[in-house]
Amino acid sequence: MSQLTSFLLVLSLCAFAPLCFSGKTKRGYLYPQFYDHSCPKAQEIVRSVLAKAVAKEARMAASILRLHFHDCFVQGCDASILLDSSGTIVSEKRANPNRNSARGFEVLEEIKSALEKECPRTVSCADLLAIAAKESTVLRGGPSWEVLLGRRDSRSASLSGSNNNIPAPNNTFQTILTKFKRQGLDIVDLVALSGSHTIGNARCTSFRQRLYNQSGNGQPDYTLDQSYAAQLKTRCPKSGGDQNLFFLDYVSPTKFDNYYYKNILASKGLLNSDQVLLTKNEGSKELVKKYAENSQLFFEQFAKSMVKMGNISPLTGSRGEIRKHCRKVNS
């Protein structure tokens, strides 16, 4: 069945479902049934390969989730982050937010290889990453959602976009919110999506300034619990140990839950960008409190915000391509 026929079928199925086209964009539609006929086992294949990788290393779930976030904030959700440098392409992997920290590329290539075997040149790397982000969340005990599909892959990357658009751990609250708003996301999305820090790790270099020199005056960040700070200092010295890893959520580091928000309320958010959700804005402070009290509310909003983020400027129709290998454009 052609994609047009498949699309018309979806139209008829959606006649009585007003939320069916929550994926409408300025340039086309994304919809969950996109591969139902062209590659019906797509999501099952992603889930299967990813489950093995996460069973081998729990941290991989957070790494994949982060890749989707860093992809969508640069040129939209187009798998540009997966491209290696070649010819005119300067890889986003070299950008400050990704260098020495973005990981999981080999797992995505393994998934892509399995998809190519099942249905060649059909499932985009951008869609693969969107599905993998959802499955990563579910594998660690988090919420599920219906992934909207139909994205295509970019033929370019943007090093400057990565450096400028992705929020940094030491950004001010206002800068982070501005970067979210630039993508069509709001303060609710910001606080909910930050909850992905309930799993995964951060490097010493990402929060060192909080321990020793928060404001350039040689003083630590006093919004950080001092006993927790003392514990962090043992493995994050003033100099050296840049790559030493620390759990973002020290209470339940591999479980997707709402302890991230409870930690923030206890002044034990690891990154500056975590703690400012409580200390720098009344609206975000109230949301942190709500999500700390009610994990169901957090899960529901996280799912909604992930769908919204996954809908940032996708390439659809004949724009872009379906890459055969995620790390390089088709020749």
Separation CA 274–CA 62 (nearest Å): 16
Of 301, 314, 300, nearest in space to 127 by CA: 314
In angstroms, how far is CA 132 from the centroid of its own chain?
A: 10
Single-letter code of the amino acid located at 179: K
| DSSP state at residue 210 | H
Separation CA 307–CA 134 (nearest Å): 10
174's CB contacts (< 8 A; 6+ apart) are 280
Q: Cα–Cα–Cα angle for 205, 189, 215, nearest 5°?
A: 35
Q: Burial, 70: exposed, middle or buried (Cβ in 10 Å; 0-12, 13-18, 19+)?
A: buried
Q: For this structure, is 325 an active site residue? A: no
Active-site hit among 37, 68, 70, 325: 70
DSSP string, 238-297: SSS-TT-EEESSSSSTTS-SSHHHHHHHTT--SSHHHHHHHHS-HHHHHHHHHHHH-HHH
* Alpha helix stretches (DSSP H) within the chain: 3-13, 42-56, 59-72, 105-118, 125-139, 159-165, 173-181, 187-194, 208-212, 226-233, 259-265, 272-279, 282-293, 295-309
- Catalytic residue annotation: 70
